[in-house]
Each structure stands twice: as C-alpha cells, then as structure tokens.
Structure 1
Amino acid sequence: MSTATRRSTATREKPAALGSTWWSRRWIRALESLGATYPNPRLPRGRTLARNGAVQGLTVRPGEVTARVELPKSSCEVTLHLPVFSDSEWTAGVRVLAGQLQHAASLLEGRMPENIDDTFGKAGLTLFPRRGELSSRCDCRDTGDPCAHGAAVHYTFANSLEDNPFLLPTLRGRSREKLLTELRAARSGGGAEAAAGPESVPASELPSADGYFTGGDLSAVPLHPQPPADPARRLRRLGPPPGGTPGDAEWLAGAVERAAAHAWRTAGGGA
C-alpha cells in the first residue's frame, strides 16, 4: 500500500501558494464547484488554516486522505474519501494510456500529462472527483461536508499534488510503482492487445514543408548543438514495442544511438 506523508508532526511549515500546477488547480476547482454539498462560507476558513500550516501528518492511501488539523486549543482528525477504481477499470485506463505514446513516455519519466484525464475519459474514468463521489469526516461538531477543517485538508492535499501528482492515482487505488509497471507491460504487449494504437497522422495530411518556413537567412540563426547524453533513454523506458521482445527493444535502441551518432558527426562536418 502506497503512503505519502506531506507534513511532519514536529514542524508547522506553511505551504506554498495554492494552485501553481494544473493538477492542484484542478483538485481545487473540483472542491469549489461541487455545489450545495460544499457550502462556500467554510472554504475561506479552510484556505487560511492550510496556508497557516495547521494541517499536519497528511497521509494518502487508496480511497482516503487523512490528516490532523491543529487549532490553538485543540485538534481535529479529518478523513477525505474518494472511491477507488476496480481492477477492471484500471486495466481499461492503462490500456488507453498505453495507446498514447506521448502520455506513456511522460508517465514513465515521472511527469503527469496535462490532458491525461481526457485520455482516461475514453475508458469512462477520471482521476478527479465527480459530483457526489467526494466526502469527508471530521470529529468536530460542524455538520458541513466539508467543514472548515476538511476544507483545509483538501487545500493541503492540493498543495501536496504540486510535488507529487502521482498521489492522484494512489488515491484512486494505484501506486506510482504499480501503475508504471502495468503501463510498461501494456506497452510491451502484455495486455495491450485491445489498446488503441499510438496516434498517427497520414503523411498525405501533413502540411507542406513551405508551411514551416517564413523566410530570412537561416545561416544567421545562432546554433549551440550538444551531443545527446542518452538518445535511446525514452525508448528504453517505453520497453519493447507492442508484440515485440526485449531483443527487439534493444535493436531499436541501438539503431537510435547509431542514428544520433551519425547525425552528430554530420552536424560537425565529420561525415
């Protein structure tokens, strides 16, 4: 089970400005747009508590976020709940992700693609809360959902996403490690049979080369070429091609490395 802790109990560090990445802004929008179930008057108080570092011991597990909100004379225990995806739903989600080369490469490099939820939508899924999915529990006397303390945990979780967007799939039931393992397996053909192939554009639909040239003296453009450190790194991260073997992947990686070396020699006038 994957667990991520954002704050230590010994330190009350104030979080950075909320919403500086697309995934944290999306979580905040989900919280603030869920209608009457989430009365707005409690949200400003929650933002203030989050900014003042009142939320401690934030922990993320499949289906729940737990934390303690420290107040001047007391503290509250808060739990946020979000349904996890079933194994069959995750299989469908990974399948569509594996069919998007750009998404697969970004995830395997530890980055969360900005339009990943559009791709998940093809499997009928979303990493972010839908209306009615998100709930909270707090041991205070406020009956609001969320209360100000629950809202503070929401905003602090959004702040945690700044550094680790993989908390989103963790909350939906897949740790980063398991998600990437399943994605590599799907990319290599172990379960990607039904995946949509990587997006492609027929050559006949590409604009002509003239469309990329606006005129001017190209020799006047300053160039600062650098040899690639590892030109086949992204290819190796993707694993074997669908239906291929590890040997096929190494052959392709070798071809990429030879092509990169030849391009570098050509650029330097050595070919």
Structure 2
Amino acid sequence: MPDNEFGYTAWGMDWVRLAEPLRTTRPDPLLPRARSIARNNGVHTEIDGTAIRATIHRGAQASTTYLELTPLSPTTITAISTRIPTDTVELGDETHATLRTDGITVAPTLHLTDCSCAARNPRCLHLLATCYALARQIDENPWLALDLQGFHSADTEQAPTGDTPAPRWTPIASLDPATFFGVTT
C-alpha cells in the first residue's frame, strides 16, 4: 500500500497540488476534513468533457461543486500524442516525467469553480474534497487526467485552429431561428 492515499502517482499528485499548493505559507485547516470526506467516498462525481460536477452529502447537508478545466491546446495535444505510443494501455510515472522533461505541462488548470455551499470561498471544503476524490480516481486510471483536459475529445471533435480553445458560449444573436432546428419549409 502506498504511503500517501491521494496522489501516489505523478498524475494524481497534480490534482493533490490543486488542493495543497506548494506556495502556501500556512496549513489549511480544511484539508483534513476534505481528505476524510474523499477517503470515506463522500464525493460523487459526474464528468462531462472538461467539466466535473460533484455532489457531497454530509449528514443533513448537501452541496454541489462544479469545476471546469482549461482544455489542453491543440499544440500540446499533438505534442503529447507524438510522445505516447498509440498502443499504450497504462500511463506510468515515467511517461509523466518524460512529458515534463520535454517541457509539456499536463497538470490541470482550473478555469471555473462554483459551489452551492454557504462558504462563498473559491477554496471551500467541497472543492478540496473533490480534488482529493479526483486524485484517487486518476491514481487508478491516469488516462483520466488527460481526458479531463480534452485529450481524447480532440480525436473525435473538430479541434479549433490555433492555441485558443473553443468559446464557452454562443451569442444568441448569432443564431438564425429559421435554420437552427434544421427545419426548412
């Protein structure tokens, strides 16, 4: 059994670093409770592309936490694809180290966070517990670390040109109601 139950692989440790950044100057008192919630399977996640919705039930309280990650740029996806053989089944720490040595960052970057709790703090207990729960899931399946950043979705979707990600919203004024639903008269 590994010494650290969260982030015992390099892929999962990237997620632990979201909860425990190295640049902190004092201990965060929420971390032990967040680890306890994740350890006791109190976080239930639903993943949709680069978005994660987590529900956390503790006693009579329930909270919903929403995380959205910044997708990898097409250039980064291409660089990763050239360094990981197509027949790779399992990503090891060696692959992570090789990517870092080559200057490719695969650590997640939070684009948007939101929680329904009353804390009104961007680093609430529920966000931290979600990071720990995701670290555990990624330790079990390191491909998830790349999938959460849009690595495999770039294979199936038309990737935008350049390094800019696709826009999150479509302005309503840009839609033509006569052709939007594909109905022609």
TM over 0.5: yes
Larger Rg: 1
| Contact 1:60–1:170 (8 Å) recurs in 2 | no
Aligned with 2:117 (options 124, 131, 140): 140
Give, in whole Å, the separation in 2 of the partners of 1:52 and 1:177. 34
Is 2:28 the partner of 1:51? no
Where does residue 77 of structure 2 map in the other structure?
Answer: 90
Q: TM-score, normalised by structure 2?
A: 0.68
| Contact 2:108–2:149 (8 Å) recurs in 1 | no
| Contact 1:112–1:165 (8 Å) recurs in 2 | yes
Give, in whole Å, the separation in 1 of the partners of 2:102 and 2:49. 20
Aligned with 2:132 (options 150, 155, 169): 155
In structure 1, list runs of 5 or more residues that go unmatched: 1-15, 98-102, 180-271
Give, in whole Å, the separation in 1 of the partners of 2:67 and 2:125. 13
Q: Give the drift of 1:124.
A: 4.5
Aligned-partner SS, 1:59: strand
Provide Cα deviations, 1:40-95, integer angstroms capped at 9, x if missing partner.
Answer: 22221111111222112x12333222210012112111112220012233123323
> Which residue identity is paired with 2:114?
R
Where does residue 105 of structure 2 map in the other structure?
Answer: 126
Q: Against the structure 1 CA distance between its residues 160 and 174, is the aligned structure 2 distance closer, same or farther, given a 3 Å change threshold?
A: same
Q: Give the drift of 1:108.
A: 2.2
Give, in whole Å, the separation in 2 of the partners of 1:166 and 1:73. 35
Where in structure 2 are the equivalents of 1:65-214 lying within 5 Å?
Answer: 65-95=52-82, 97=83, 103-104=84-85, 108-121=87-100, 124-129=103-108, 133=110, 136-175=113-152, 178=155
Where does residue 27 of structure 1 map in the other structure?
Answer: 15
Where does residue 187 of structure 1 map in the other structure?
Answer: none
Please report the RMSD computed on the Cα atoms of aligned residues, expressed in angstroms. 3.0
> Which residue identity is paired with 2:56?
V
| Contact 2:49–2:153 (8 Å) recurs in 1 | no
Instruction: Indicate the structure with greater helix content.
Output: 1
| Contact 1:24–1:158 (8 Å) recurs in 2 | yes
Q: TM-score, normalised by structure 1?
A: 0.48
Alignment: residue pair count: 152
Q: Give the drift of 1:172.
A: 1.1
Name the % identity: 26
* Structure 1 stretches of 4+ moved >6 Å: none
In structure 2, list runs of 5 or more residues that go unmatched: 157-185
Q: Which has the higher contact order (CA 8 A, sep 6+)?
A: 2
Aligned-partner SS, 1:120: helix
Give, in whole Å, the separation in 2 of the partners of 1:109 and 1:59. 26
Give, in whole Å, the separation in 2 of the partners of 1:31 and 1:116. 23
